[in-house]
A and B are shown apart, each in its own frame.
Chain A
Amino acid sequence: MKFDTPAGTNPIDQLKVVGRATDRIDGKYKTTGTAPYAYERHDVAPNQAYGYVLGAGIAKGRVRAIDAGAATRAPGVLAVVTTLDTPKLGLGRMNYATLFGGAEIQHYHQAIAVVVAETFEQARAAAFLVRVDYAPEAGRFDLAAEAKSAKPVGAGSGEGSGSGAEDRTGDFEGAFARAPVTLDETYTTPDESHAMMEPHATVAAWQGDKLTLWTSNQMIAWGKESVAKIFGIPKENVRLDSPYVGGGFGGKLFVRADAVLAALGARAAGRPVKVALTRPLVANNTTHRPATLQRVRIGATKDGVITAIAHESTSGNLPEGRPETAVDQTKLLYAGANRLTAMRLAHLDLPEGNAMRAPGEAPGLMALEIAMDEMAEKLGLDPVEFRIRNDTQVDPGKPERPFSHRDLVGCLRLGADRFGWARRNPTPGQVRDGHWLVGVGMAAGFRNNLLTKSGARVRLDRAGTVTVETDMTDIGTGSYTIIAQTAAEMMGLPLDRVVVRLGDSDHPASAGSGGQWGANNATAGVYAACVKLREAVAQRLGINSADAVFADGEVRSGNRAVPLGEAAAQGGLSAEDTIEYGDLSKKQQQSTFAGHFVEVGVDVDTAEVRVRRMLAVCAAGRILNPKSARSQVIGGMTMGVGAALMEELAVDKRRGFFVNHDLAGYEVPVHADIPHQEVVFLDEVDPMSSPMKAKGVGELGLCGVGAALANAVYNATGVRVRDYPLTLDKLLDRMPDAA
């Protein structure tokens, strides 16, 4: 189905199932431990052996020799595959560090061997017997030092955001020079780790030339293509299956070393092999969100109208790597006739930087939205009012291009009202509650809505049950449930008459899970397939499909009402289709918006920051399942608390690696860090997005939260910290004297 004109009224608009807060249909499996994740697929292949991955102990250089003799002779060992035994493998889609093969070490903990044994204990012990001789080389590991030699680079994030090396509208320098009120500040964000709870894991089995990977991957079609590329085998010989994914956040967009080494290990051992990356390997072996150095300049009239805005960002990556696209949202978020965005990329020999939840916008808004708070203060304006004053309903760089639907102002107004913003004391450091200095802060949230084609197959059986099959994944996003809701709505069935099968590359290729594009596109694909199935049902029953009403498990036309299953009485019906998009998103800008509000307490003695209240008001089109969508937003808010207060991959700038490479060293928020969180969705639809009229929310919840929190810390203490995370050491020196 081609979607190239705005959606009119369609069966989804009945909202009998879609749009209602619905318990997840996979909930009873997840809560009982019966949902199978990759490493647990004991049933799929007999006689599985265990692989244990060894990572390089240097950051850059070459492997001179590997002595695997003792490991090979160790009890239970079936095979040892080393990187020196293996030619350098091809690169998968959107990756640029070699996953395995050859002597070159590009980054710390790059995989150099897999030991396969009868048991996990044997494989692990034998892995420690592998002796490696390295020829280390000097590398570049310090972003601040390399920033001076960083080159201008334009690129996309691979997840929607993107920017040129330098993009201009009007005359930024001139307007900035003339502006009566200006701001020019630099902000930094650190390297961050996805730290999903399920480490990357795969069971691999070969049947002749055919390879099956039961794995944990967000993007099945990309993964299938990548595995074929990496091993140089035809795509048809590769199958991926990933029905449950224990979190990804961008870290499982790609095929990683677990899959590659399980496959190589299985080939060497001649039997199925399963591999999970150990937790200490995850941070350096896989990808991460790159650190940024960002400069923001804003010029405005005295009454707070922005006349000039510039956002420049420098990040680092391996050669061939992409920049963190932190300036992208600044093209669209606020008005202003004179604009500049620019990106630079430094060569670093740290592990591969790549997409993590809201790549670009997440770190970009952490800078921009502090700058807006600082600018509002300079102007003597309320930060909410300053943002409202600079709202735009068109793409400021291309004023002929409107937003499809934009209610940022609604988010900010409602949020301010709900949060009690009017009671805020604009003078920092004034509010005290016991030993806490209390402050509130806010920020705008922004993330684009991305359209990408997505397919599904729907089958009807004689019992009147509809089964949906697509390679779409559910990484915690609620895909199972919204897909079931979509099919139920389209076919006039209750939810429990729909079966959803996800994550298998034998199913039609979907949008996959990334860039908050999954929900709208994957359900639109199911919509398209259901339209075809409705036609097939009507034809089978001899009903004019235009007249057919699908409701309450029946197909009705005039006085006739037939149970849906009857259409499949002579054999099941099946329909498959793919939603594809025209140029609607080029003509009109599709984005999602939020107002984030946070209250913090800062300990007057120790400068520990603790969050007391959080609210997000979101405008993201139709909300397909308010229950799981809310969870997506609070999950983003929680990750935003981590980014603001504690998360930082600590770089050893001499040895070239992330030192805190486990979950004790890399702190993510715990229960005690997170207060009750409130989310409000504005009641809206966006007919430009798809027949579902929905947009993404999976990343919006993260976008802007960090800055709202940083602004709250400033309001509490009067200390402006521009370097994330806002750990107490950055506040302590400037805290008011303890009483």
Chain B
Amino acid sequence: MRSFTYERPATPAAAAAAVAGNPGARFIAGGTNLLDLMKLQIETPAHLVDVNGLGLDRIEPTAEGGLRIGALVRNTDLAADPRVRKDYAVLSRALLAGASGQLRNKATTAGNLLQRTRCPYFYDTAQPCNKRQPGSGCAALDGVSRQLAVIGASEACIATHPGDMAVAMRVLDARVETVDAKGSERAIPIADFHRLPGDRPELDTTLRPGELITAVTLPRPLGGTHVYRKVRDRASYAFALVSVAAVVQRDGTGRAAFGGLAHKPWRVEAAEADLAKGAKRAAAGILAGAKPTPDNAFKLKLAERTLGAALNQARA
């Protein structure tokens, strides 16, 4: 871990300004991923801007009948919020399926969106990795890739977004609100927030340098039955092989987003019309164009069957 200076600004704009003018600066909130990576010198900030004191820790109703979740709301609090449990249960379920109680107590809403891949080669600084060190190559392509992406990947990177929360937010059409150093705000649809790797795998998201996430907003409740089905080798405290966030209405229509398949939560709206016709049909559209490795080809069948399980659970 490189030495760093540390400050605790008082307002979001000041925080954004502190990072925007300083290429070596990073925000720190829960720190559960950033510090992990700093210990391995995968992240080497020279200045940390602690945003925990910014007061962005409230969950409030929006004028449109949705919910505005402060960037610093802890995963535990978000999952336990009565409004989230009642109207956005898929989000509660996704959060509770992730990490451990200790990590959820610390991890924040914004930080969770920004967590970096768990590709083992990204984590091993002796190995080539285009995400960690652009241009160095990708060891995962011909290496161990059981956990890695089957769709939307590139020749440069087959990493996955490891999170659960973002998958639920994707199915709920959340928007990510930000502020920059000049104080200007914008709202990024969650679909556009995470990137596919392409030839710039070092970029996980479309955030601009210094842009600070202030909140995530959820639109009006969708109703229906909410399911988050996470599949992993051990029963808890593990990243998903495949996960499905689904909201299914009484008439069988619905939405579904997938974790564990791609560099971002994977959702194909065009294929959702087929959900009422069953998992096999819908999965064919959702997974069209998949290019798995021999190690992870099983994820295609697993995704289809997990979707089936989620739909069955929703209709039970």
Contact = CB atoms under 8 A, between A and B. Distances in A.
Interface in B215-238: 231-238
Contact of A606 (B127, B146, B305): B305
A650 B233 CA distance: 14
Interface stretch (B22-30, B136-144, B194-202, B246-254): B136-144
B121 interface: yes
Contact of A671 (B39, B231, B232, B236): B236
Contacts of A732: 298, 301-302, 305
B143 A652 contact: yes
Nearest to A611: B235
Interface in B1-42: 1-3, 39-41
B66 interface: no
A613 interface: no
B88 interface: no
Contacts of B124: 280, 659, 661
A129 to B, nearest CB: 10
Contact of A670 (B139, B234, B301, B309): B234
A280 B40 contact: yes
A733 B301 contact: yes
Chain B interface SS verdict (over half): loop
Interface residues of B, number: 37
A109 B127 CA distance: 12
B1 A124 contact: yes
A667 B120 CA distance: 13
Nearest to B232: A608
Interface in B115-172: 118, 120-121, 123-127, 139, 142-144, 146
A659 B120 contact: yes
B256 to A, nearest CB: 15
Given A605-B306, A606-B302, A606-B306, A670 B143 contact: no
Contact of B236 (A280, A670, A738): A670
Contacts of B302: 606, 728-729, 732
Contacts of B231: 606, 608, 728
Contact of B298 (A661, A669, A729): A729
Contacts of A654: 142-143
A53 to B, nearest CB: 14
B143 A659 contact: yes
Contacts of B189: none
A664 interface: yes
B258 interface: no
B266 interface: no
Interface residues of A, number: 39
B157 to A, nearest CB: 16
Contacts of A671: 236
Interface string A608-633: 10100000000000000000000000
Contacts of A121: 1
B308 interface: yes
A551 interface: no
B298 A603 contact: no
A435 interface: yes
B235 A672 contact: yes
A610 B233 CA distance: 9
Contacts of B312: 435, 605
Nearest to A663: B237
A660 interface: yes
A645 B233 CA distance: 8
A653 B313 CA distance: 40
Interface string A626-664: 000000000000000000011000111011000111101
Q: Which of A435, A652, A733 has the most chain B CB atoms inside 10 A of its CB? A: A652
A670 B237 contact: yes
A610 B143 contact: no
A652 B142 CA distance: 9
B193 interface: no
A705 to B, nearest CB: 16
A125 interface: yes
A128 B41 contact: yes
A283 to B, nearest CB: 11
A605 B308 CA distance: 7
A606 B41 contact: no
Nearest to B229: A606
A158 interface: no
A646 B305 contact: no
Contacts of B239: 664
A128 B126 CA distance: 11
Interface string A706-739: 0000000000000000000101110011000010
Interface string A156-178: 00000000000000000000000
A663 B39 CA distance: 15
Contacts of A672: 234-237
B144 A659 contact: yes
Nearest to B299: A729
Interface in A123-139: 124-125, 128
Nearest to A654: B142
Interface in B45-94: none
B35 to A, nearest CB: 12
B94 to A, nearest CB: 17
Contact of A646 (B3, B139, B234): B234
Contacts of A733: 298, 301
A684 interface: no
Given A655-B143, A670-B236, 8 more contacts: A57-B125, A57-B126, A654-B142, A665-B123, A672-B236, A673-B236, A729-B146, A738-B308
Interface of A: 57-58, 121, 124-125, 128, 280, 435, 603, 605-606, 608, 610, 645-646, 650-652, 654-655, 659-662, 664-665, 667, 669-673, 725, 727-729, 732-733, 738
29 contacts: A57-B126, A124-B1, A128-B2, A128-B41, A280-B40, A606-B231, A606-B302, A606-B306, A608-B232, A652-B144, A655-B143, A662-B123, A665-B120, A665-B123, A667-B233, A667-B234, A670-B234, A671-B236, A672-B234, A672-B235, A673-B234, A673-B235, A727-B233, A728-B231, A728-B298, A728-B302, A732-B302, A738-B305, A738-B309
For the complex of A and B, the 6 pairs showing the least CB-CB separation, nearest first, are A57-B126, A605-B309, A672-B235, A729-B298, A672-B236, A659-B144
